[in-house]
């Protein structure tokens, strides 16, 4: 399963040449991660029994193949590259929306994104214009205490596992 959503390059996202600035990809990955978690019925901060559960990021990277420009519409595909005891590695792949068959029209896009069995990148000719990985750790957050990693609850692990695709990042 894949979580997918559409985005548009806004003016604020660009540099003086009208190209999306490298740093905005990290915002798009975080927004997509939050939309993915909401889709699963969670938030990045969940109430626990006398504490909160949160998912701080411990690693983030992004590689760029070609630029995107102001007003471009693109898709972000999210899946899970790896699940550990307390951590989850999300993979984000970015796809040009123009002219790609099977990509939902941005006007018909459900708010927040959708899930699909179809991998946008199953055709070897379709290449992401950028791709990134973010590692988040499931943590217990209590007042006046440092964050403490905790095992991912079984119910959450089960949902995350339906999005696991272990193939190498392309």
Mean pLDDT, range 66-84, rounded to an integer: 94
Rg (CA), the chain: 17
pLDDT band, very low/low/confident/very high, at 115 (cuts 50, 70, 90): confident
Entry pTM: 0.88
The pLDDT value given to residue 112: 66
Residues ≥6 apart with Cβ < 8 Å to 167: none
Question: Domain-by-domain residue ranges, the chain?
Answer: 2-161
Closest CA to 103 of 87, 88, 83, 123: 123
Q: How far apart are CA 71 and CA 43, in angstroms?
A: 29
* Percentage helix, strand, coil for the chain under 3-state DSSP, each rounded to 5: 20, 35, 45
Residue 97 has pLDDT above 60, yes or no: yes
Residue 44 has pLDDT above 80, yes or no: yes
Residue 101 has pLDDT above 70, yes or no: no
Q: How far apart are CA 69 and CA 14, in angstroms?
A: 7
Report yes or no: 66 and 147 within 8 Å, Cβ to Cβ.
Answer: no
The whole-angstrom distance between residue 19's C-alpha and the CA centroid of its chain comes to 21
Residue with tokens 């003086």: 16
Mean pLDDT, range 121-142, rounded to an integer: 90
The pLDDT value given to residue 61: 98
Instruction: For domain 2-161, say whether CATH 3.90.1140.10 is its number.
Output: no
3 state DSSP class of 14: strand
The whole-angstrom distance between residue 23's C-alpha and the CA centroid of its chain comes to 15
């Amino acid at each position: 399963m894949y979580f997918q959503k559409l985005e548009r390059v806004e003016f604020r996202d660009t540099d003086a040449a009208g190209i999306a600035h490298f740093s905005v990809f990290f915002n798009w990955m975080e927004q997509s991660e939050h939309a993915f978690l909401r889709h699963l019925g969670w938030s990045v901060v969940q109430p626990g029994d006398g504490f909160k559960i949160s998912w701080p990021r411990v690693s983030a990277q992004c590689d760029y193949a070609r630029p995107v420009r102001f007003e471009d519409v693109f898709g972000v595909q999210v899946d899970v590259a790896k699940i550990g005891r307390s951590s989850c590695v999300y993979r984000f792949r970015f796809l040009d929306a123009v002219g790609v068959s099977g990509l939902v029209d941005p006007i018909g896009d459900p708010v927040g994104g959708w899930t699909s069995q179809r991998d946008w990148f199953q055709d070897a000719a379709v290449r992401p214009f950028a791709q990134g990985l973010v590692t988040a750790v499931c943590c217990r957050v209590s007042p006046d205490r440092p964050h403490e990693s905790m095992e991912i609850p079984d119910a959450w692990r089960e949902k995350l596992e339906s999005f696991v695709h272990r193939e190498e990042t392309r």
